[in-house]
Amino acid sequence: MSRRAALAGGAATAAGFAARRARAQAGAPLKIGYGLPRTGYLGVASPVAEQAYLLWGEQVNAAGGLAIAGGGRRHVQFVSYDDQSEPSKTAEIYEKLISDDAVDLLLAPYGTPFHIAIAPVIERNRFPVVAAATLSSLLRDMHMRHMWFPQPLPDAYGVILAAFLAAQGVKSASLLTLQLPASLETRKYLLPQLSSRGISVALDQDYPNSTADMTGMVSAVRQAHADAVICLSYPQDSVLYVGTARELGITTPVQLLLIGPGEPFFVKKFARADLEGILTIGEWTPDQARWPRARAFNDAYVARWKEPPDYLDSTVSYASCEILAQAVAQVGLDHDAITAAMDSMAFDTVKGPIKFRGVENISTQPGLLQFQSGALQIVWPPDIATARFRPKTGWSL
């Protein structure tokens, strides 16, 4: 075969391939991949994130598909795997999603260690991922080029929490910290903030994940007589704390739990009188009138899953889909173009407007939520608040 014929043949093949590809793209669904822990220790926590992904996908498909810049709409098809709560598996899963499954887009995994695990994979492949369920300033500070953080992070919560405590006239605080990343980081950033505002730490106790009884710790809290109790907990020990604080009659007016009160089961576990006044972190409620889509998202989620969304993980997971979708609608599926769009675009999400500078969300103000009459209200900072803070007045008998 002559050199010319070979070239011509190669060109013909390439042209045919491109045509097939274009045809396939026009009809074929858009593949969006993710890995989440369906089993293992995080299996209990991740459904609130996955349900947000699935709801978003169903809504997009019901609306005729995802709009792509210059290319109409394509239906969304998820490709997902169980990482069994092991970060090393997550890295393999994202590697496989990119190379074997050839997905068009990726959604975030669940939890900080899992975001860290996929960082090298997405950086190497220059594949943009909007982070979701992670609370880690350290991760943000890794200076990745292809991961953005819509959720306010522990350093920001440390600042506003200390400001809130100072505004309530709190002079001393008792700190209980679970030995898991989000709790430890929050403590790390909170301590200097407390000290700069002149709030003393009356008790600073950390505890392991295996803790099954908090009677001793909460007794120490009672003896410390601080003006505030900050329990940097996860859902399981949030339940333990409330039960124990009730039994021991902890009447401190400010009692905050880090993660748990925003999860749907929490409301069912305790009487309204006991929930009343409990604080947690978060800046989303369906009642935030300035974000009109918050209520619509809440209602759609409740209709689909028969339970309310988690105020942290469900909303940020859903928002991460919206951010990606809006970028694709603007610039198409090219990964470098999406990456560039993340820096320049402003996004409109169920959590309100989001704009990134570098990898950090500079629009969303971190906030604090409080149970009032059975619902979580934003009580801090004042400019996004939906209700005023009310001191906790003890527990039901």
Residues of this chain that interact with other proteins (CB under 8 A) are 38-41, 43-48, 179, 205-208, 210-213, 215-217, 219, 235-236, 239-240, 243, 246-249, 263-266, 268-271, 274, 307, 395-397
- Residue 163's Cβ-count burial label (10 Å; 0-12, 13-18, 19+) is middle
When the beta carbons of 266 and 371 are compared against other proteins, the nearer one is: 266
Q: Which is nearer to other proteins, 68 or 218 (CB)?
A: 218
Residue with the two structure tokens 């679970």 = 178
Q: Which is nearer to other proteins, 239 or 384 (CB)?
A: 239
Q: Minimum distance from CB of 6 to other proteins (Å)?
A: 54
Q: Rounded to the nearest whole angstrom, what is the least distance from the CB of residue 269 to other proteins in the complex?
A: 4
Query: Of 46 and 364, which has the nearer Cβ to other proteins?
Result: 46
User: Which CB atom, from 113 or from 152, has the smaller least distance to other proteins?
Assistant: 113
Q: How far apart are CA 301 and CA 303, in angstroms?
A: 5
Q: How far is the CB of 247 from other proteins (least distance, A)?
A: 5
- Rounded to a whole number of angstroms, the minimum distance from the CB of residue 176 to other proteins is 9
CB nearer to other proteins: pick between 80 and 339: 80
Computed from CA positions of residues 210, 213, 217, 218, in that sequence, does the dihedral angle turn out positive or negative? positive
> Identity (one letter) of the amino acid at 372?
Q
* Short-list 284, 356, 351, CA closest to 128: 356
Distance in angstroms (rounded) separating the CA atoms of residues 207 and 82: 29
Sign for the CA dihedral angle at 380, 319, 342, 33 comes to positive
CB of 397 to other proteins, least distance (A): 5
Angstrom distance (rounded) from CA 288 to CA 242: 27
Between the CA atoms of 9, 14, 15 and 19, what dihedral angle is there, to the nearest 10 degrees? Answer: 140
| Residue whose CB is less far from other proteins, 47 or 113 | 47
Contact 182, 162 (CB under 8 A): no
Shortest CB 310 distance to other proteins, Å: 9
E strands, the chain, are 30-36, 66-67, 73-74, 76-82, 105-106, 129-130, 147-148, 172-178, 200-207, 228-232, 254-257, 279-281, 346-349, 352-357, 360-361, 368-372, 375-380
What's the closest the beta carbon of residue 264 comes to other proteins, in angstroms? 7
Q: Could you tell me the smallest distance in angstroms from the CB atom of residue 35 to other proteins?
A: 15
Q: Which among 269, 305, 380, 284 has a CA at the least distance from the CA of 53? A: 305
Residue 196, Cβ density class (10 Å: 0-12 exposed, 13-18 middle, ≥19 buried): exposed
**Nearest alpha carbon to residue 256 among 190, 350, 179, 188:** 190
- To other proteins, the closest distance from the beta carbon of 210 in angstroms equals 6
The nearer residue to other proteins, 46 or 136, going by C-beta atoms, is: 46
User: Measured from the CB atom, is 205 or 344 closer to other proteins?
Assistant: 205
